[in-house]
Amino acid sequence: MENINKVQLLEWKKPDEVMQLHRLKMKKRALQARINNTRINRENSRLGSTQKTIENKQNIESNECVGQKRKNPFAKDEIKNKKLNVTAPELETSDDNTLFELLKLKTPKKNKIENLMLDCPLTFSNAFLQLETNKNILDSEIPKGEKYIPMDWTLKTKMRFMSPKPFPWNCKLKTSEEASGTTGFVRCLDISEQDSTLDTSPNARLHRCCLIWQHPSLPWLELFPRSAGKVSANLTSNTTIVNNIAIKEALYKEWSESFRSLFHLLRARQCPYFYVCANNFTVLFRAAGICGISEAHALLTPTTRGFRESLKQEEIEYTMPLKKDSKRRSDTIDSGCDTVDSTLSNASNFTENENPDDEEDQTQDEWLESLGVENSEIRKINNSQARITLEKQIEIDNMKQSLIFVKGVDAQALFNFLINCKSAITTSGPLAGVPPTLLSPVAFHGATLKPIKVKESTVRVDKERYFSLELKGPLLPHVLPSLCFLMKSSQLEQYSASCAQLGSTTSFSAMKQKFEQTESKNVPIPEYVFGKENLSDCGFNSELLKHFCSPDPAYVQIIENIKFSNNLYTWS
């Protein structure tokens, strides 16, 4: 019975029915697949254009890298990484180049960029930090100094050059070298290989720089510097000059002719400058055009109250550029003279300046009388004020602040005053009866050609050997720049120089630093050019004359030490 029931359960099916069931299953599967595809397309449309770009990029990379397993483009971490990989290099290259162009920096090489990226990211802040670092490096690497040599109007007594390499000359002059150097100096010729047939050796050019014109010249007397404590003289011979009136008159007559000749050369602009060295003061006369000043002018230092009173009596107008300006009228030290800071352009004569003072004193006296003050008390007050004024006048005597400046017609008046000034010739001491010393870079009547003493040697400083060149004598302002030009033309790469100055003449350069700042404002450029051209026959070459005629106060400095290195000059 059981077998019969099992057979009844198993019904026979026709082939058509089996195929119908199979086709139904296939339709179900197709419908399910269609539903799945619709959902995938919706998700893809939500991702947007950014995911499509990433898919395309990944497909390209997968085609290039054959054999690598394809990565899922929809993974979040991978999408972030891919975004950085796609956009970062393009932004870095374009923005960095633009950044370096804006900052005017050179674009670093690849290895430098890699090192920089390892240290810190290349952002704007880091780029500005790099810019500051580069500036500091450049400032430390760029040598400091100037290409020009400043003018120092201070008279010097000694000068010493030192160099680690030998100088291109020696102190043993040949006949032709001495003759060519002397000829070049006397005739004011620029000895060079281009425009001269004279001996152009370094020895000849050195000898040309070491000559000077002087008057008077007495072999038994040292007439520079004019300091009684430093002059070695034969007192017997000096007594002869003092007691012999004929000798004194002859010396004075010759000196007057020489002084007059030299001043005429200055007015004609055939002499750029010259010095008058007396025992108690020194005068510097400069031609029109020097330092950009349009008129011939003179500087005198130091002065005393009595000397300034003598100038006032001769109606010589002057200014005191180094004297501090007084706020009160009663504090004016010298009636009739003004500082450059107060009234440079509106100077008035001395007689006119006295009247307001007298009127002011009368007004004060009348005011005191109106208050009931007795006349005896008014006289005491006036005497105390006069004493205070006198003390202030004496304070600057023989000081740097006592320097006076005259120009134009007053420079001519000062010349006439000095040529007849009895106080210019001392009556006691080793130089009694001897007129002041005249020093000039060009020849004049009665001048004597004097050589500067030159000594060459070797010295050791900190166990290092240096070559030394020492000069002794009256060293005028053109000597230092002339020697520096000579060393530069001789291709001497490094050297230094130290100077011993005549202390009483340092105010000549100090006045320039303060005075020309106001004076040069009134000097137009064409006037400076005309001054330079008018002095073209004064004996200086164009390069040296350019510095002497410049109105720029930076071209005038007090130089004690100067150093040449890397084609630049530094000084102190």
- The predicted pLDDT at position 28 comes to 83
What is 24-93 written as a DSSP string? HHHHHHHHHHHHHHHHHHHHHHHHHHHHHHHHHHHHHHHHHSTTPPPPPTT-HHHHHHHHHHHHHHHHHH
Weakest-pLDDT range from 1-15, 406-420, 521-535: 1-15
Kindly report the number of other CB atoms within 10 A of residue 146's CB atom: 13
pLDDT digits (tens, 9 = 90+) for 30-58: 888 877 776 666 666 655 555 555 555 55
Confidence check: pLDDT of 350 > 60: no
Judge whether 288 and 534 are in contact, CB under 8 Å. Answer: yes
- The predicted pLDDT at position 489 comes to 83
- The predicted pLDDT at position 442 comes to 95
pLDDT digits (tens, 9 = 90+) for 123-169: 556 665 666 666 665 555 566 788 888 889 999 999 999 999 998 88
Confidence check: pLDDT of 554 > 60: yes
Weakest-pLDDT range from 233-237, 391-395, 457-461, 505-509: 233-237
Q: What are phi and psi of 210, to 5 degrees?
A: -115, 40
Share of the chain above pLDDT 90, in %: 33
Mean of the per-residue pLDDT values of the chain: 75
- The predicted pLDDT at position 419 comes to 94
What is the helix (H) or strand (E) element at residue 184, kind and residue range? helix 175-186
Judge whether 302 and 292 are in contact, CB under 8 Å. Answer: no
Higher per-residue pLDDT: 170 or 404: 404
Contacts of 414 (CB under 8 A, 6+ apart): 283, 298, 300, 311, 316, 406
Q: Which residue has the tokens 């040599």?
A: 149
Average pLDDT over residues 61-88: 50
Give dist(CA 453, CA 45) in Å, integer.
101
- The predicted pLDDT at position 259 comes to 97
- The predicted pLDDT at position 281 comes to 93
Q: What are phi and psi of 290, to 5 degrees?
A: -70, 130
- The predicted pLDDT at position 543 comes to 84
Residue type present at position 79? I
- The predicted pLDDT at position 448 comes to 96
- The predicted pLDDT at position 211 comes to 95
Average pLDDT over residues 462-481: 92
3-state secondary structure of 231: coil
Rounded alpha-carbon distances, angstroms, from residue 428 to 208, 209, 215, 265, 407: 37, 35, 20, 32, 32
Weakest-pLDDT range from 61-70, 199-208, 418-427: 61-70
**Reported confidence tier of residue 97, pLDDT bands at 50, 70, 90:** low
Both tokens assigned to 425 = 């010739």
Residue type present at position 209? C
Average pLDDT over residues 327-346: 38
pLDDT digits (tens, 9 = 90+) for 211-260: 999 999 998 888 999 864 454 444 445 677 778 889 999 999 999 999 99
Q: Which residue has the tokens 């000062």?
A: 414
Higher per-residue pLDDT: 431 or 57: 431
pLDDT digits (tens, 9 = 90+) for 283-316: 999 999 998 888 999 999 999 988 999 999 999 9
Which of 3-17, 247-261, 523-537 is the most confident on average?
247-261
| Cα three-residue angle 178-184-189, rounded to 5 degrees | 165
Q: Which residue has the tokens 């000095």?
A: 418
**Reported confidence tier of residue 436, pLDDT bands at 50, 70, 90:** very high
Rounded alpha-carbon distances, angstroms, from residue 3 to 9, 11, 12, 13: 10, 14, 16, 20
